[in-house]
Every structure is written in C-alpha cells, then in structure tokens.
C-alpha cells in the first residue's frame, strides 16, 4: 500500500489553499497583535495552543490548580488550527509563546528572528508493529513498507535512519519502502492491516499500544543508541528573545508554574481523571496509555538541556536532513536555549 501516492492535482490544490490561508493570516497578524496587546495586562501570557494538542492538558491543569493566580499572572489560551498557524502567530506578535522544537528555533535564529526555547517534553514516539507482521527487529524491515508520520525530514525518521545504518547496516530509504502520511491516517492503516509497521508520534503511538500493537523501538532508545546518555528534550516553550528580556519575571513565574503542574501530572491520578474529556480518549486503555506516555516525557531529570549532547544530535540531523531541515544554519546556536529556570547546562 502506498500511503503518499499520487493525487498530484488534489495535493496542489490543498497546498495552494493552505498557502493562501497562511498568507491571509500573516497579513492580518499586525492588527490582531495590536488589538490583543491593547486588551491584556502586563501579567498576561498569551499562548498559542493547538486545539487538540497535548499542551492543552498542561495549561488546563495549571489553571485548575491555581498556580497562575498564586504566581500573579494570567494565561490567555489562543486556539490554533495547525502548527504553521501557531508559528506565524508567534512571529507576528499575536501570541507571546507557542510550543515547538528547537530545530525550528535554531533555523529562525540563523535567519535573524531571535527566538528561544525552554524544554517541556522528551516524548517523541516510536516504531510500532503488529504482532503478526513478522517484524521482530530492524533487520526485518528490509523490503517492507514503513508508514512514517510527517515528511522525509521529520526528525524521528532521520534518527531512525541513522540508527538503522549503525545497528543493522540498513539504508531504510533504499532497503525499505517508506510512505509518508498524517499520524491519524497511519494508525488507521496499520490497524486495518494495510501497513506492517509505522513510525508515529507519541500520542498516536500510545493509542496503538493500547490497541495491542508492539513498540519495536522507542525513540529514546534510538537516541541512546546514537550516543546520547540521556533523553533529549525536543519540544519546548518558544518565545522571542526580546519578549523574554522584557518580561523575565513573568517568564520565570510561568516556567516555575509549569514545573509545579508537571509534578501534579506525574503523581496524581485524579488530576488525569479530570482531564479525560479534554483528552478525547476512545477507551480506558487509550486514556491510561496517553497518561503514562505523557508522564514519561516530563521527568525532571530528563528535561535538562545537555548542550554538548544536543550539539552532537544537531550535527547528525544536519547531516541526515541537509538544508531542507536546518536551513542556513550549519551549527547549533547555544542561545537557542533559554538559560533561566535550571533547564540548561
């Protein structure tokens, strides 16, 4: 089955429609940003959040626990329909903060947009297979189709390629048959027996495990196999360097409140029961898998940015993904990572 097959005309139409929508959003952002700034207090933090994203769980819990009020700030959640929309909103000043990965931050810094990253999660996902697929190891992927979430330069796919070459002597681009698709579609295809293996993001991988599939490889183990001694936080809170300099106390109070929230989410089962409606879990097994996967990504000892290790990881990604992934930046700018809050070393 070829997931990312033809339909070129439809694909061009969709790409054009998305581009037009994003262009319209970009054109409206200055006015939106001015209106938003006029109506908010100095202690209000505007955060762009994907409508069905897992970051909403953290912010909802933070507000329910009253950590924002106790620290003297307010959060204005600004719903976003897609990651690109959130990134444009941040660049245009319509929001103060979003969540994304440090690769995007570093690329923007190389292009003159001084953004910064504060670690939020190490969760990545993994490679999932059906029990009857006959796939017991990486070597068994030879000649098989693999569903891959995202694009050919998605970081998990690049990590898996590097690991496959190192551990099994496989060039997955040639020795296997990768097909690229959206995460929900990949889950549907593998559950219907249309794919033998998928590389998917962690919320979708959690649902696959709840459905009885096997996680052949956790991406944290892949990174360890590539020489990292500890998991690397890939997703974090992202904001402009100028905004951080102008609001250091607000930012630090927010990051401290997030740490308090993560402690609740790690330790309190009732806190997760309250989140059930927001999580859209299809079953109790889904709910528990999503809860446990999220908890695994917010361990405090793993949310430390080990800069030398991250720089080695960046060099690997730059080699694998080239300019299409990293843009004009051949190296990782240390200032990509926000230094306050005890999250960098």
Residues 107 and 237 in one domain: yes
pLDDT along the chain (345 residues), means of 10: 46 40 45 43 87 92 98 96 93 96 94 96 95 93 96 93 94 96 96 96 96 95 90 95 96 97 98 96 96 96 92 90 86 89 44
What is residue 6's DSSP assignment?
A: -
- The residue range of the domain holding 80 is 29-122+233-342
81-90 long-range contacts, CB within 8 A, separation 24+ = 81/50, 81/51, 82/50, 83/50, 84/18, 84/22, 85/22, 85/25, 85/48, 86/48, 86/49, 86/50, 88/22, 88/25, 88/26, 88/29, 89/25, 89/29, 89/48, 90/48, 90/115, 90/238, 90/239, 90/240
Nearest alpha carbon to residue 338 among 122, 116, 121: 116
**Domain end residue (candidates: 225, 254, 269):** 225
CB 260 within 8 A of CB 65: yes
In a domain, 14, yes or no: no
CB 236 within 8 A of CB 123: no
Other C-beta atoms closer than 10 Å to the C-beta of 261 total 23
CATH code assigned at 38: 3.40.190.10
In a domain, 318, yes or no: yes
In a domain, 21, yes or no: no
The CA-atom distances, in angstroms, between 240 and each of 213, 243, 256, 324 are 41, 5, 19, 23
In a domain, 78, yes or no: yes
pLDDT the model gives residue 229:
86
Other C-beta atoms closer than 10 Å to the C-beta of 176 total 21
**Domain end residue (candidates: 166, 198, 225):** 225
In a domain, 86, yes or no: yes
Residues 209 and 86 in one domain: no
In a domain, 9, yes or no: no
In a domain, 6, yes or no: no
CB 231 within 8 A of CB 122: yes
Angle at which helices 284-296 and 269-279 pack, to 10 degrees? 120
In a domain, 293, yes or no: yes
The number of folded domains in the chain is: 2
CB burial class (10 A; 0-12, 13-18, 19+) of residue 68? Answer: buried
**Domain end residue (candidates: 178, 196, 225):** 225
pLDDT the model gives residue 53:
86
């Amino acid at each position: 089955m070829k997931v990312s097959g033809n339909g070129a005309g439809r694909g061009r139409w969709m790409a054009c429609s998305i581009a037009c929508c994003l262009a319209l959003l970009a054109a409206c952002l200055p006015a939106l940003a001015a209106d938003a700034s006029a109506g908010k207090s100095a202690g209000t933090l505007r955060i762009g959040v994907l409508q069905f994203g897992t970051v909403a769980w953290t912010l909802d819990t933070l507000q329910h626990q009253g950590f924002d009020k106790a620290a003297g700030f307010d959060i204005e959640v600004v719903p976003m329909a897609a990651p690109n929309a959130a990134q444009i909103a941040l660049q245009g000043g319509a929001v103060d903060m979003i969540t994304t990965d440090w690769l995007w931050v570093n690329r923007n810094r190389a292009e003159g947009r001084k953004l910064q990253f504060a670690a939020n999660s190490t969760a990545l996902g993994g490679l999932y297979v059906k029990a009857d697929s006959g796939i017991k190891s990486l070597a068994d992927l030879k000649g098989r189709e693999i569903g891959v979430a995202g694009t050919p330069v998605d970081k998990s796919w690049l990590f898996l390629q590097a690991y496959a070459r190192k551990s099994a002597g496989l060039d997955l681009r040639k020795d296997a048959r990768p097909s690229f698709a959206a995460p929900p579609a990949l889950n549907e295809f593998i559950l219907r027996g249309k794919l033998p293996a998928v590389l998917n993001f962690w919320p979708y991988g959690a649902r696959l495990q709840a459905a009885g599939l096997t996680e052949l490889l956790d991406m944290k183990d892949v990174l360890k196999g590539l020489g990292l001694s500890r998991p690397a936080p890939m997703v974090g809170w992202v904001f402009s360097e100028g905004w951080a300099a102008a609001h250091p106390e607000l930012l630090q109070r927010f990051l401290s409140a997030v740490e308090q929230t993560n402690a609740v989410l790690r330790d309190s089962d009732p806190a997760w029961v309250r989140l059930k409606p927001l999580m859209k879990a299809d079953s109790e097994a889904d709910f528990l898998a999503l809860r446990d996967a999220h908890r695994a990504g917010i361990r405090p000892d793993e949310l430390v940015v080990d800069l030398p290790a991250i720089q080695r990881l960046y060099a690997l990604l730059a080699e694998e993904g080239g300019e299409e992934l990293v843009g004009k930046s051949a190296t990782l700018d240390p200032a990509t990572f926000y230094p306050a809050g005890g999250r960098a070393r």
